[in-house]
Structures are given as C-alpha cells and as structure tokens.
Amino acid sequence: MSRLFQLEGVGVRYGEAEILRDISLSLHASEFVAIAGPNGAGKSTLLNLLAGLAPPSQGTCKLMDRAAHQWPRREFAQRVAVVQQAEPAAFPFTAEEVVYMGRMPHSTGLTESQADHIAVADALEQTGMSSFRNRDFRTLSGGEKQRVLLAAALAQAPEILLLDEPANHLDLHHQIALHRILRNLTRKGLLIVAVTHDLNLAAAYADRIILLHQGRIHTTGSPADVLRGDIIAEVFQVHVALHQSPSGQPWMIYGE
C-alpha cells in the first residue's frame, strides 16, 4: 500500500496543556482507519494535524513527504477533503450549490466544467441526496446537512477523506449506508480517517483502529486486536461483554 501520511514523535501543546504526545504512525491508501478514545484524548486534534490546520509543537506530520501544514492550500485540497463535526453554517444556497463548492480546488474558470457536473451528480447520488438538490440548505435536518457536506467532500475527488464523527446526526439506516460508502471508497484506493465514538461501527467497517488515551496511542491494530475487554476497561473505565459476528467481527454490549 502507498504511504500517504507519516507522523514521527508528534506532540501538540496549547499553552501549558499537552494534548498529544509521542504520536508515531503511518497511514496508507486503501485503508479505513478509525480514531477512537475518551473525550479529551486528542482525537480531533490529531485529525486537525492531518488536515494541515496547524503544525505540531514537536515532531513531524508529513503528507507525501512534505509537512502537511506547508502544502499550498489549493494543492492540499486537491488531495485531502475534510468534513468537520461542528454544526455547519447556514449557507443561503441550495444543497446542490453547496456540493459544487467542493469542486473549488479544481476550478479553472467562472463556470462549471463537465467534470464538475459529473462529480457533483455522482456525489449526490452516493450520499442519497439527489432528490434534495434544489432544497435550501438551511431547511435541511442536521443529518441531511451532514450528508450534503459529505457529498461536497466526495465531489472534491480527494485521495484522502478526513471525517470528525461522520455519523453524527444520522439515523441508524444512514449510519450504515454512510459506512458502506466509506468502505467502498477505500476499495477504490482512498484513505479514510474517521474520528468516532461508536466502537461497534468501527469494528464493523474499519480496517484499523487507533485508540487514543491521555494524548497517546494506547493501542492500534485490527478491530479484533484493539477491542478487547481489558483494553476497553482500562481506557474507558467501562466493562463490556464481547461477542463475535458470523463474519468474525467483534461487537460489544456495554456495561456488562
């Protein structure tokens, strides 16, 4: 697999607070990587580092052998799409117009190209939002807005997709549909990195889980390697009953 991100000895401080420390890992094409951990473990901070939004306080975070925060933003956006967890702004546009915004890194003029039209139509179709294309974005539910923003990221045609709690606001049907989309994208060569609190969704769809605890990588590996009773109890202070699906994937009942 082609290595896309390389982090070596990364630490992040905000004033006196040490948020991340000694983070070293590689992320590759065709991987679905879930970042999990308790509140305050540094999950969103790690995602922001990958997104090039800020340099590390120490160590290096490289995309394709160049520091992530040093990439020209247009070139970076042609490779990396980011969907944040925060409630989106009230865009005074239709859902389709918001998705077209994802094509901005590829824009060469004032009008949309045929490639833009195809990418937007495909992104709306993949996220199940084609019938919402003419709806005012401000009138959509939280889950519908989330799916439009995901469509905008897919229209960006990235090599890497970074998501902070992508299932936030989504009902069960759309959570599963979204994760199937993400898994299929990795089969087409994309690197997907998603922060999640839902360990069972991570177990079902992720190739690898990075479990953070107190700003460090506590454990990383396949879902079966990471989602063990002793590890969950130590990191989350919660006891679980572990089960196995017919396909061999772990799943948990919490509080047992």
Q: How confident is the model at residue 19 (pLDDT cuts 50, 70, 90)?
A: very high
Model pLDDT, residue 55:
87
Q: Which of 54, 49, 44 is nearest to 25 (CA)?
A: 49
Q: For 3-79+158-254, CATH number?
A: 3.40.50.300
Query: How do the domains of the chain map onto residue ranges?
Result: 3-79+158-254, 87-157
pLDDT per position as a tens digit, 76-130: 999 999 998 756 667 789 999 999 999 999 887 777 889 999 999 999 999 999 9
Prediction pTM value: 0.93
3-class DSSP string for 68-124: HHHCCHHHHHCCEEEECCCCCCCCCCEHHHHHHHHHHHHCCCCCCCHHHHHHHHHHH
DSSP symbol at 195: E
With beta carbons less than 8 A apart as the criterion, state whether 38 and 47 touch.
no
